[in-house]
Amino acid sequence: MKLVWLRRDLRVEDNTALVQACASGEPVVALYIATPKTWQNHALAPIQADLIYRRLFELQKDLAAKNINLYYAQVDSFLDSVQLVTSIAKQQGVSGVWFNKEYEVDEQLRDAKLIGMLEQAGIDGIGCDDKCLLKPGSVVNKQGDYFKVFTPFKRAYLEKMYRQAVVVTKVTPVRTQGTVQSSQIDEFSSQCPFDYPRQTSKRYPVNMDAIIKRLRDFERLSVSNYHLQRDFPAIEGTSELSPYLAIGALSIRQCMARLMFEQQLPLSGGREIWQSELVWREFYQHLTYFEPKLSKGKSFTPWGDNLVWKKSDSAFSAWKNGTTGYPIVDAAMRQLNQTGWMHNRLRMIVASFLIKDLHLDWRLGEQYFMSQLVDGDYPANNGGWQWCASTGCDGQPYFRIFNPVTQGEKFDPQGEFVRTWIPELQDVPDKFIHQPWKWINAKALSYPSPIVDHKTEREITLSLYKEAKER
């Protein structure tokens, strides 16, 4: 019998570990293990926990259709989960444990520990590269080193991807259903413990047909205009498929295959831009694999750790709660707090504001995002924050600092998005919607004045970064 340990790969089709385990011809069982203490340490968002929980019920049905049982257990930590998997494999006479690799440090240590314990027990432990379309180490420069700049990475990545077909693999049903008799696990049900805070994720359907329909509808109806609409938060111009990629309900291959279906290569327009976003995701996964320090709170650039950060609980609280006095920043943070999602353009604006207007450590924002985002994925989140902090691999130059007023005026010109999330500004004219303190009736508003002056803070940032780089 083969055991497939599922983690952030909550799908049946195009699941490399599952496909390969089934190809063995032996009975297959699947296992999911909740690890609330590790999740807490990793700041897993309650809304993402709920998405995972809901998806497990649908995954159980999807697996049952392939004659595969889904078993479930809850333990405290990653180490406990390794010990549990090894114990079950030994008790049940499992010949091989299959899993899909993850590239963060804790996850790599977990998997190395698993393989070591399984080897001692005479059981095969097979890790598959499934999270990326092209595995880390397969896209390198002429010197054989990983890329540190996105554009040449993308060029090499696409060249290699175009040379090989993007294959989405199917699971072949096994003839004999595998069963496990163990007091340590149960078949997944609503009675199983899931002791982690949950916030409703009902906005996101978890039925596989509905998820695939979202992908196909975006490709069919929206992707051609993606490059024109993606920066405007009042427009539904993005795919919003990132929550499914984050928990593995969709694979990168499924997205790329749908995007390129019956298209002439190379892609152009909205398709090319969305493809770039998918490749950015791959870029950050590869970086996480090659640079363990990124999983340990370190800056990619050595001088990044020389930056001097301000400590202000009141400023951080205002940023978190959407009360900074800058409407585009506050509307974005309120959207995040209420929905668990934030438009990508707004993620850059609020990150820049935290780092370069408030001079607060980017790690505070990084962790807060992870604790709130339904699509929280460590490599992408870390990469995005370090890009904005100018400390990351191919980060934004430190002297390019988003102006929260002009960003709002450019990407929410009529203030439609701002008014959606800040009803206090409902009556402010368009001319003043992004700087309401200049409106003649500003004193009557139940909305705060700006907590900092952007022009002043910009000069301070330039000085702080210049100092850090010279030190």
Helices marked H in 291-399: 313-321, 327-339, 344-352, 362-372, 378-389
| 167 annotated to bind ligand | no
- Neighbouring residues of 440: CB distance < 8 A, sequence distance ≥ 6: none
Question: 67, 207, 337, 344: which one is catalytic?
Answer: 344
User: Is residue 262 annotated as a catalytic residue, yes or no?
Assistant: no
User: Is residue 309 annotated as a catalytic residue, yes or no?
Assistant: yes
| 274 annotated to bind ligand | yes
* 124, 97 Cβ separation under 8 angstroms: yes
| 284 annotated to bind ligand | yes
User: Is residue 341 annotated as a catalytic residue, yes or no?
Assistant: no
Q: What angle do CA 348, 350, 353 make, to 5 degrees?
A: 105
Report how far residue 147's alpha carbon sits from residue 287's, in angstroms, rounded to the nearest whole number. 8
Question: 187, 272, 277, 416: which one is catalytic?
Answer: 277
For residue 111, the tally of other CB atoms under 10 A from its CB is 21
| 283 annotated to bind ligand | yes
Burial profile 222-239: b = 16 or more Cβ within 10 angstroms, e = fewer: bbeebbeebbbbbbebbb
| 238 annotated to bind ligand | yes
Secondary structure letter of residue 469 according to DSSP: H
User: Is residue 344 annotated as a catalytic residue, yes or no?
Assistant: yes
Burial of 442 (0-12, 13-18, 19+ CB in 10 A): middle
Which tokens hold the place of 310? 């301000």
User: Is residue 385 annotated as a catalytic residue, yes or no?
Assistant: yes
Helix axes 362-372, 378-389, angle to 10 degrees: 150
| 376 annotated to bind ligand | yes
| 280 annotated to bind ligand | yes
Question: 362, 366, 381, 403: which one is catalytic?
Answer: 362
| 377 annotated to bind ligand | yes
| 398 annotated to bind ligand | no
| 54 annotated to bind ligand | no
Which tokens hold the place of 315? 């400023």
| 241 annotated to bind ligand | yes
Going by DSSP bridges, is the β-strand pair 186-187/69-74 parallel, antiparallel, or unpaired? antiparallel
Name the residue with tokens 């001319």.
431
Phi, psi of 32 (to 5 degrees): -125, 135
Taking alpha carbons only, the member of 30, 49, 78 closest to residue 246 is 49
Question: 280, 319, 341, 421: which one is catalytic?
Answer: 280
Phi, psi of 34 (to 5 degrees): -80, 140
Phi, psi of 128 (to 5 degrees): -110, 145
- Neighbouring residues of 468: CB distance < 8 A, sequence distance ≥ 6: 303, 304, 306, 307, 308
* 345, 233 Cβ separation under 8 angstroms: yes
Which tokens hold the place of 405? 């007023």
| 392 annotated to bind ligand | no
Residue type (1 letter), 282: E
Which tokens hold the place of 148? 């540190």
Report, in angstroms and rounded to the nearest whole number, the Rg of the chain calculated over CA atoms.
23
| 282 annotated to bind ligand | yes
Question: 291, 306, 309, 457: which one is catalytic?
Answer: 309
Which tokens hold the place of 61? 């049905």
Question: 98, 385, 387, 421: which one is catalytic?
Answer: 385
- Neighbouring residues of 314: CB distance < 8 A, sequence distance ≥ 6: none
- Binding-site positions for FAD: 226, 238-242, 274, 277-284, 375-377
Residues with catalytic function: 277, 280, 309, 344, 362, 385
- Binding-site positions: 226, 238-242, 274, 277-284, 375-377
